[in-house]
Structure 1
């Protein structure tokens, strides 16, 4: 937990998952185009950007961290269809970070 009573690790892991998931469609855009999956890179990129924004929002708005964690888990699982789940690494990071966000509770003083 961060010293200012906001979640730290969960949102960072979610944002990192978003970067990994967004990088995969950019890396393999030519392959996706060759096999006829024209819009798949855009879907994967949108999911990756959504995860980065979810991680930032969870850090900025700690009252919504549990809900944003659930959104991160759903986005991570849906990344299998648009970004190959970030080759599995992004998928695992997103589910782990989302779970950390869902489990986070503010410290009582």
Structure 2
């Protein structure tokens, strides 16, 4: 008997996006400060951490996956201002992962 498992791919990609977005300010904080993004490390870490939490919540609470997917997409878009979108890689991962979460439907078995 198969159980109704929650989404796997979408939350995993959202968590990966959060890690990438949080890593950029840590690794390139000096370069971001040169471009005038003084608060970038704090904002980037906050958005990255929030995306990791959203990904974990989407995996653990499948009934809220659609709403959490929308939150992941919005946070990923906002990461452009705080962490240059994880050098665009985190932005793309977040949008793809959020879209996978929004598109996920529980099985009807």
Is TM-score (shorter-chain normalized) higher than 0.5?
yes
For structure 1, the 5+ residue unaligned runs are none
Alpha-carbon separation, structure 2, partners of 1:10 and 1:35: 33
1:67 is the counterpart of 2:61:
no
For structure 2, the 5+ residue unaligned runs are none
Give the root-mean-square deviation of aligned CA atoms.
1.2
TM-score, normalised on structure 2?
Answer: 0.92
Deviation of 1:105 after TM superposition, in Å, equals 0.5
Q: What are the residue-to-residue correspondences of 1:1-109 with 2, within 5 Å?
A: 4-109=4-109
TM-score, normalised on structure 1?
Answer: 0.92
Alpha-carbon separation, structure 1, partners of 2:31 and 2:96: 29
Aligned length: 107
Deviation of 1:85 after TM superposition, in Å, equals 0.5
Alpha-carbon separation, structure 2, partners of 1:46 and 1:57: 16
Alpha-carbon separation, structure 2, partners of 1:77 and 1:35: 19
